[in-house]
Structure 1
Amino acid sequence: MQRAMRLLEAVAEHPYGAPAKQLARETGLALPTAYHLLRTLVHEGYLHREKGLFFLGESAERLGSSGAEQKRRSTMVDTLAQWRDSIGVPVYYAMYREGEIEVMCVSDTPGNPAVEEWADFRETGHAHAIGQCLLSQLDESARRDHLARYPVQSITPYTVGDNHTLLRRLERQRRMEPVVERQEYALGTVCAAVPITVGTTAATMAISLPAHQADRLLPAARRLQDEIGRLLGSLALSISI
């Protein structure tokens, strides 16, 4: 396995392909051994051979793509944990993708637990800050389409009353302002979500706090927004995890 990996790494260094003799020399393998391993890797789809040269195959490219995705996800997880600890709040990352609200990552601690998803986040976007923030980044047609599939419903006594009222609220939302929600999704909890737009992707970072700490909500959201602004360039590649 180790020798096969060395060959794969060597082939990856040659985007225009390399012959078996060169790969054997670069990896320190005997030529018969290199030939045997190269044939096996071609058979398994990790390499392909063309005019005597070896190139990475589809299986190897899928592995590379998966590895890059895992690295992006790891970067996002580490960043959320850093903000969680420095601000002292649970931090959430969510996206609007293919017509759905998706919470991609949550970072919390026993001392600062995340909000329990007692009602499906996808179906209750009208009630929580994450959903309202994502919907505010869509055009009116996309908002109406979402609400046609997931109409406003009462979650708590504080939940917005109907589709029309929610649409008016979303229209009034300032473009880069945090979206604040107080006990609309979960009694005893207040939340704020910071909009992030990278290209055509609508995304958000959000925080939550117990209602008795509501005075901390906006300062914490502003601090999160500042942190996002500082790191947005390096996070842009991680937005699509």
Structure 2
Amino acid sequence: MASPDQTPMLDWRDETIPVSRRFDDPYFSLAGGLDETRHVFLAGNGLPGRFRDGFQIAELGFGTGLNLLATLLAHPGPGHLHFTSFEAFPMAAADIARALQAFPEVAGIAPGFLRQWESGETTLRFPHLTATIILGDARETLPAWPGKADAWFLDGFSPAKNPELWSAELMAAVGRHTAPGGSFATYTAAGHVRRALAEAGFTVTRKPGFGRKRHMSVGVLQPSATASRMSPG
């Protein structure tokens, strides 16, 4: 699935938490990755309350697939969701399986995900959700994506350690690929990220973070931003 330069280099903390050597950052919160996903990405986007048939989630940073699995747990149906994730360094199924052992709640749905991922599939099918994992540098793949998200999970490694995934140019692309009334949520409250998202057309709000993180950021695309993209020129 991944070429050598795309393979993530991992260390393991407490034998269960993968840490990227490339970015010196863990893949999920040491205080509880599944709880963080629910607090930041689901609640931060007003989910699952906004789910409807055809609802589109997009994500920067697929990692272990934990956000996908949390979404599956939150959406038993009815209605079918679409989940698109952009990932430059896809993890091997065996490493994902090792990481997911920390979360007994996903044990019932993880095997179906892992079977598809191990077989090399990047379109993953579940009863009430279809996930598409787009491999490669998001700075190239996101601008080329034809979709528009109703909700964004901005979950790259720390802006201080992976600045490429938080640049003003990429945040502008996030704004262009957001549906009218669409939202974002992210664990970071870094000033330059918040400013970039505001410039991309979002109203940006700081909220209490998860665990040791004092703050996180959420936002909704302003109607004026949507209108300006639809106007001539």
Report if TM-score (shorter chain) is over 0.5.
no
For normalisation by structure 2, the TM-score amounts to 0.29
For normalisation by structure 1, the TM-score amounts to 0.29
Looking at CA atoms only, which structure, 1 or 2, has the larger radius of gyration? 1
More helix by share: 1
